[in-house]
Every structure is written in C-alpha cells, then in structure tokens.
Amino acid sequence: MYQRYNRTAMTDDERRIREATFKVQFERELPEFAQMRSSAVEVVILHQGAFAADYQESEFCLLGRVINYAGLLGKENECGVHSGY
C-alpha cells in the first residue's frame, strides 16, 4: 500500500512526485470530496461519526488522508469532537 519514508531524506523532486501521486490517488478514490475541497469552499465540517465510528484502522487512515489532502491544497484543518449525537 503506502511506503513509509523519512521526509528529511527526500529530495524536493521526490517530495513533489509523492505529493502528486497522492493527490491523483485521492482524487480517483474520493472525487466529490476532492472537487469540493478544490473549490472556494472555506470550511468543511467533518463529523466524528463519519470516520472510525467502529475504530477501524482503514477509517483512521482515510481521515488522515482527508486532512493531508486539504493541507496540500493550502486549506486549514481543524478537528473537533462533539459530545452529543
């Protein structure tokens, strides 16, 4: 799947290639989210129940990828927890 790497050991070209590859994969897997985040939308609220409601590792990874994608687009990320449903 995804290979671990040491960011400080990467060259600028390697980092750009990894970021571009990540963005292409993300946009293919979640096209509606990618399109919305690429638009002028300033704030996106992610409900805690949408990710890892059953504490599945794949959902935690998806949340991390969503946050990373937004960061690559220069969007601010804030995570919060709502105690009531």
For 16-73, write each residue's pLDDT tens digit: 999 999 999 999 998 988 888 878 777 777 777 777 677 778 888 888 888 899 888 8
Per residue in 35-47, pLDDT tens?
Answer: 888 787 777 777 7
- Count of CB atoms within 10 A of residue 69's CB? 22
CA triple 39-73-45, angle to 5 deg: 65
Place of tokens 């399109």: 35
Whole-angstrom Cα distance, residue 22 to residue 30? Answer: 12
pLDDT attached to residue 5: 59
Which stretch of DSSP H or E encloses residue 23? helix 12-29
